[in-house]
A and B are shown apart, each in its own frame.
Chain A
Amino acid sequence: MRGLSRLLVFVVLVALLLAGCGGQAAAGPKVVKVLAMQQAGPTPEEMNAIVAEFNEKNPNVKVEIEYVSYDALHDKIVTAMATTPPSYDVILVDDIWYAEFAKAGYLWDVTDRVDAQTKEKVFAAAWDITTVNGRIYGMPWLLDAKYFYYNEKILKEAGFDHPPATWEELVEQARVIKEKGLVEYPIAWSWAQAEAAICDFVALLYGNGGRFVDDQGKPAFNDEKGVQVLEWMVKTIDEGISNPASVSYVEEDVRNVFSQGKAAFALNWLYMYDLAALDEKESQVVGQVKMSLVPVFEAMAKQGLKSATINGSMGFSVVDKSPNREAAWEYVKYLTSEDVQKRYAAHLLPIWSANYEGEALEALKALNPATPVTVPMFKEQFPYAHVRPKVPYYLEGSKALQLALQEALTKQKTPAQALNDAAAKWVELQSK
């Protein structure tokens, strides 16, 4: 009898414990949980302010936002998606993950929820980011590309009054800069074993008339054009024009080297302008930093190609398994709306093409000390930005290509051999 009553007490305790764990929230506003990143784009303060505005306007919805670094974002999302219901209702998705996530069924198909007007007023190139096989899986949000930065003071001291328009011209200028002892290694790159290396390679590849994949989706980065690019990369390191440490550098290292005046040229995302050109705390070259179109190789320049770079954009998507998809989508629409984007454009340029015309353009340029330069530069550079292939096995294929670039740069394989091996891996992934 006593034993039985104890057993009962135990059972009740366990039941209470389980109820505590799985308990449903009491009735109230629908909670929409958002996963964003704290790196490039708007600051958390700006993001929080937008959330507060939305919550006030929608009393029946409560948005809660969380931030991680870019490098942690992909793995955080894939682990969070394993539970039902998932830990987040809205996620920030990088361009190169859309195919993988769409195939995995993480993302809500919003093709029929984007009205014709929105579709028309947002940059066409922006829709490429969130579209997989013709279906739209979210709103484009952060439009970015790699830009070409140069140190005007170093160039002037070397006797040049204009930035290079072609990579060949860059090499010539770099030789003079090096000979005059202005800097040891005139250009720094992000060629570490990371996605950053692919970004630089793609910019160079398209500037040489090459392509990542052909129309059938087969790898094309190992053709003649691609091999030429990788040979050029190796050569510039051998000659001491490219910083040899580039093989271990990502974007932040490039920014640090350039900001210390130890490089005359650099390729980096838009965020570097504000930090390197204007921020006394972050940079020793304030006032010397200029931007121009990313160069191309001479052969392509002769054919009329002005520039080529990499598109590194991101979008916000609603999670398919979310119980609050409608409310989540309302938040995504609000976050990317023309009005909000215009008011919070200090660190994030709008996706709406109308903001880049007439009076709106002048207002956009006047937003903060960086925008008079970054806004026109974006308008000029973004049309030349190339997206990487939208395939579900992208990360694994990219890793194979990163390995190939590094094998060539560390002289373990010839550029042709390394790229062919990566292409073989790519074909193998396709056939799976």
Chain B
Amino acid sequence: MRSPKTISLLQHEIREGVLFLLPAMVLIFGITLFPILFTFVLSFTDTPLSNPSPQNFVGLSNYLSFLRSTQFWQAIWRTLYFTVVSVGVELLLGLGIALLIHARPPGWAFLRTSLIIPWAVPTIVNGALWRWIYNADYGALNGLLYSLGIIDKYRPWLTEPMRALNLVIVADIWHSVPFIALILQAALATLPLELDEAAAVDGANAWQRFWLIRLPLLRPAILVALVIRTVEAFRVFDIIYVITQGGPAFGTVTISYLTYLESFSYGHLGSGAALSFLITLFTLAMALIYVRLLYRPEVQG
């Protein structure tokens, strides 16, 4: 049985604990929760950017007007295409590079270090870089293809919607492959060698060892890289802002770009907030799918 003294000590500790936690809670509420709740409230109003306190409740009409607009669905489609292609290619290339480094060919340390460079370049700088590379009249891409004899005269690259989207994807891949490669390479380095060796003794060939042993063991690392990159790719904005400004003919307007236009260029804070929440729903759904597909308990630890 507890004495009254212990209880008061316990209460004291709780009180102290709460006191110590309070600043952190205030910060988290102020920086994370409050803006989310505020945005949620805004998304049901027609608040203009010029007077950003919630007003004029309009119910679901912001959401409904987007769900009914072709511009919204085209942007969603483009964003999905961007995400699937860029993350897919990044994963394959990243895995290949990770395996290559892991095999420690001559110069692997140099390779691993230089791999950081594209990732270390800020996205805005990366965008400016590729904008120059793709330039029709003095870009490096034209220069390269021309001097290799692949094209007979300089051509414009960013003037067709679908091609522009693909070229923006290439720029994004160049930037993000290193991230996936480094995560997977780090994961590879921690895998227990015994399993691999045992399988080799049992006569498994290199492909079988990769497919049946290493890949399943890499699954948690792949999941982490995929979730981070998918969410990032789904919210892609800056690289498009720099390379194409959403053009040509809205061909590279992704859902985040649409949100930017809606909120800041057109000044519709309410519908911009609704778009942000739609993006959140989509990313949440994708994260859940990943967890279902890849996060199997038996491969943990």
A binding-site residues for B, Cβ under 8 Å: 3, 6-7, 10, 74-75, 78-79, 81-82, 100, 103-106, 184, 188, 192-194, 243-245, 247-248, 253, 256-257, 260, 262, 393, 395-396, 399, 402-403, 406-407, 409-410, 412
Q: Is B54 an interface residue (CB 8 A)?
A: no
Q: Which residues of B contact A6 (CB under 8 A)?
A: 16, 19
* Contact string against A for B residues 1-45, beta-carbon threshold 8 Å, 1 for contact and 0 otherwise: 000000000001001100100000000000000000000000000
User: Nearest chain-A residue to B50 (Cβ)?
Assistant: A104
Partner pick for B138 among A3, A7, A256, CB 8 A cutoff: A256
Asked whether, in the complex, the Cβ of B245 is within 8 Å of the Cβ of A410, the reply is: no
Asked whether, in the complex, the Cβ of A193 is within 8 Å of the Cβ of B248, the reply is: yes
- Bound together, the chains give a CA A409 to CA B159 distance in angstroms of 9
Q: Which residues of A contact B135 (CB under 8 A)?
A: 245, 253
B binding-site residues for A, Cβ under 8 Å: 12, 15-16, 19, 48-52, 135-138, 153-161, 164, 244-251, 261, 264-267
- Bound together, the chains give a CA A294 to CA B265 distance in angstroms of 30
User: Nearest chain-B residue to A237 (Cβ)?
Assistant: B159
| Known pairs A75-B265, A81-B50; A243 contacts B248 (CB<8 A) | no
Q: Which residues of A contact B19 (CB under 8 A)?
A: 6-7, 10
Asked whether, in the complex, the Cβ of A399 is within 8 Å of the Cβ of B136, the reply is: no
- Bound together, the chains give a CA A81 to CA B264 distance in angstroms of 12
Asked whether, in the complex, the Cβ of A105 is within 8 Å of the Cβ of B136, the reply is: no
- Bound together, the chains give a CA A262 to CA B137 distance in angstroms of 8
| Known pairs A244-B159, A248-B158; A193 contacts B245 (CB<8 A) | yes
* Contact sample, A vs B, 7 pairs, CB 8 Å cutoff: A193-B244, A245-B137, A248-B157, A248-B159, A395-B266, A396-B266, A406-B248
Asked whether, in the complex, the Cβ of A256 is within 8 Å of the Cβ of B265, the reply is: no
Q: Which residues of A contact B246 (CB under 8 A)?
A: 193
Asked whether, in the complex, the Cβ of B137 is within 8 Å of the Cβ of A260, the reply is: yes
Partner pick for A410 among B15, B137, B248, B265, CB 8 A cutoff: B248
- Bound together, the chains give a CA A5 to CA B247 distance in angstroms of 62
Q: Which residues of A contact B15 (CB under 8 A)?
A: 3
Which of B50, B164, B248: most chain A CB closer than 10 A?
Answer: B248
| Known pairs A3-B12, A82-B49; A243 contacts B249 (CB<8 A) | no
Q: Which residues of B contact A100 (CB under 8 A)?
A: 267
Asked whether, in the complex, the Cβ of B156 is within 8 Å of the Cβ of A244, the reply is: yes
| Known pairs A193-B248, A245-B136; A395 contacts B161 (CB<8 A) | no
Partner pick for B136 among A75, A79, A244, A409, CB 8 A cutoff: A244
User: Nearest chain-B residue to A104 (Cβ)?
Assistant: B50
Asked whether, in the complex, the Cβ of B156 is within 8 Å of the Cβ of A406, the reply is: no
Q: Which residues of B contact A75 (CB under 8 A)?
A: 264-265
Q: Which residues of B contact A244 (CB under 8 A)?
A: 136, 155-156, 159
Shortest Cβ distance from residue A241 to the other chain B in the assembled complex, whole angstroms: 15
Q: Which residues of B contact A81 (CB under 8 A)?
A: 50
Shortest Cβ distance from residue A200 to the other chain B in the assembled complex, whole angstroms: 14
- Bound together, the chains give a CA A74 to CA B50 distance in angstroms of 12
Shortest Cβ distance from residue B27 to the other chain A in the assembled complex, whole angstroms: 12
- Bound together, the chains give a CA A8 to CA B245 distance in angstroms of 54
Asked whether, in the complex, the Cβ of A257 is within 8 Å of the Cβ of B250, the reply is: no
Asked whether, in the complex, the Cβ of A78 is within 8 Å of the Cβ of B267, the reply is: yes
The 7 closest A-B pairs by CB, nearest first: A193-B247, A104-B50, A245-B136, A245-B156, A406-B249, A248-B158, A247-B159
Q: Which residues of B contact A247 (CB under 8 A)?
A: 156, 158-159, 247-248
| Known pairs A7-B19, A248-B244, A410-B160; A193 contacts B49 (CB<8 A) | no
User: Nearest chain-B residue to A76 (Cβ)?
Assistant: B264
| Known pairs A245-B156, A248-B156; A395 contacts B265 (CB<8 A) | yes
- Bound together, the chains give a CA A393 to CA B268 distance in angstroms of 10
User: Nearest chain-B residue to A13 (Cβ)?
Assistant: B23
Asked whether, in the complex, the Cβ of A106 is within 8 Å of the Cβ of B50, the reply is: yes
Q: Which residues of A contact B164 (CB under 8 A)?
A: 248
Asked whether, in the complex, the Cβ of B159 is within 8 Å of the Cβ of A194, the reply is: no
Asked whether, in the complex, the Cβ of B247 is within 8 Å of the Cβ of A248, the reply is: yes
User: Nearest chain-B residue to A81 (Cβ)?
Assistant: B50
Asked whether, in the complex, the Cβ of B136 is within 8 Å of the Cβ of A243, the reply is: yes
| Known pairs A3-B12, A193-B245, A248-B248; A256 contacts B52 (CB<8 A) | no
- Bound together, the chains give a CA A409 to CA B164 distance in angstroms of 15
Shortest Cβ distance from residue B128 to the other chain A in the assembled complex, whole angstroms: 12
Asked whether, in the complex, the Cβ of A407 is within 8 Å of the Cβ of B249, the reply is: yes
| Known pairs A78-B267, A256-B138; A104 contacts B51 (CB<8 A) | yes
User: Nearest chain-B residue to A106 (Cβ)?
Assistant: B50
User: Nearest chain-A residue to B246 (Cβ)?
Assistant: A193
Q: Which residues of A contact B52 (CB under 8 A)?
A: 82
- Bound together, the chains give a CA A187 to CA B143 distance in angstroms of 21
User: Nearest chain-B residue to A188 (Cβ)?
Assistant: B137
- Bound together, the chains give a CA A412 to CA B50 distance in angstroms of 35
Asked whether, in the complex, the Cβ of B265 is within 8 Å of the Cβ of A399, the reply is: yes
Shortest Cβ distance from residue A50 to the other chain B in the assembled complex, whole angstroms: 30
Partner pick for A193 among B12, B156, B160, B250, CB 8 A cutoff: B250
Shortest Cβ distance from residue A248 to the other chain B in the assembled complex, whole angstroms: 4
Shortest Cβ distance from residue B276 to the other chain A in the assembled complex, whole angstroms: 16
Asked whether, in the complex, the Cβ of A245 is within 8 Å of the Cβ of B267, the reply is: no
- Bound together, the chains give a CA A257 to CA B137 distance in angstroms of 7
Shortest Cβ distance from residue B249 to the other chain A in the assembled complex, whole angstroms: 4
Shortest Cβ distance from residue B259 to the other chain A in the assembled complex, whole angstroms: 13
Which of A3, A104, A106, A245: most chain B CB closer than 10 A?
Answer: A245
Asked whether, in the complex, the Cβ of B12 is within 8 Å of the Cβ of A245, the reply is: no
Task: Using A104-B49, A194-B247 as known contacts, list a sample of 16 further A-B pairs with CB atoms less than 8 Å apart, ordered by residue number in A.
Answer: A10-B19, A74-B264, A79-B49, A100-B267, A184-B154, A192-B247, A243-B156, A245-B137, A247-B159, A253-B135, A257-B138, A262-B137, A396-B266, A409-B248, A410-B161, A410-B248
Partner pick for A78 among B157, B158, B264, CB 8 A cutoff: B264
| Known pairs A193-B244, A193-B246, A406-B248; A79 contacts B48 (CB<8 A) | no
Q: Which residues of B contact A402 (CB under 8 A)?
A: 247
Q: Which residues of B contact A396 (CB under 8 A)?
A: 265-266
Asked whether, in the complex, the Cβ of B248 is within 8 Å of the Cβ of A78, the reply is: no
User: Nearest chain-A residue to B154 (Cβ)?
Assistant: A184
Shortest Cβ distance from residue B252 to the other chain A in the assembled complex, whole angstroms: 9
User: Nearest chain-B residue to A248 (Cβ)?
Assistant: B158
Q: Which residues of B contact A104 (CB under 8 A)?
A: 48-51, 267
Asked whether, in the complex, the Cβ of B261 is within 8 Å of the Cβ of A399, the reply is: yes
User: Nearest chain-A residue to B48 (Cβ)?
Assistant: A104
User: Nearest chain-B residue to A100 (Cβ)?
Assistant: B267
